[in-house]
Amino acid sequence: LADTEASMLENVVFASFVFYSTLLILKMFAIAVITGQVRLRKKAFANPEDALRHGGIQYFREDPDVERCRRAHRNDMENIFPFLFLGAVYSMTEPTLLVARIHFQVFFVGRLVHTVAYLCALKAPTRSLAYTVAQVPCVSMAVQILIAVAAYW
């Protein structure tokens, strides 16, 4: 019976989805690390107890570079977390590997560019374009999922 789950990873579409999803989660973890580094460098802490440990209560304050990291992180939550669901279920609808991989890769590259554009404050509308490009495969997967389960509401 334990073979049931192992066999999910033997589904090449699902395995491809897992590959890009896991990289994107690691990318999110990297933003968290960067946020912490910027907090230390700019001496801007979210909590009094952190500020006290790093020089004094005056460092319990906001900083524009920290807020930028936090916005990038939040936007990832708003978009990458839904992808984790949509991609997994879409993999169950038996798409062709080629089409599925295009969905996953467009999302992956779009979100990578989004992060770089956010953290480096690239000229608008680079970031918005990356966001929009990454949304296309998400909406496409959502529609295909709805078609697949439309009979089951």
Whole-Å CA distances, 109 to 57, 66, 103, 136: 41, 24, 10, 12
Residues found near a second copy in the complex (CB under 8 A): 1-2, 4-16, 18-23, 25-26, 28-29, 32, 46-50, 52-54, 68, 71, 73, 77-78, 81-82, 84-86, 89, 91-94, 118, 121-125, 127-128, 135, 138-139, 142, 145-146, 148-153
| Encoded tokens for 116 | 């770089």
CB of 102 to a second copy, least distance (A): 13
CB of 12 to a second copy, least distance (A): 6
CB of 128 to a second copy, least distance (A): 8
Comparing CA positions, the residue from 67, 69, 63, 62 lying closest to residue 118 is 69
How far is 37 from 41, CA to CA, in rounded Å? 6
CB of 130 to a second copy, least distance (A): 13
Comparing CB distances to a second copy, the nearer of 14 and 107 is: 14
CB neighbour list of residue 111: distance below 8 Å, 6 or more residues apart? 24, 27, 76, 79, 80, 130, 134
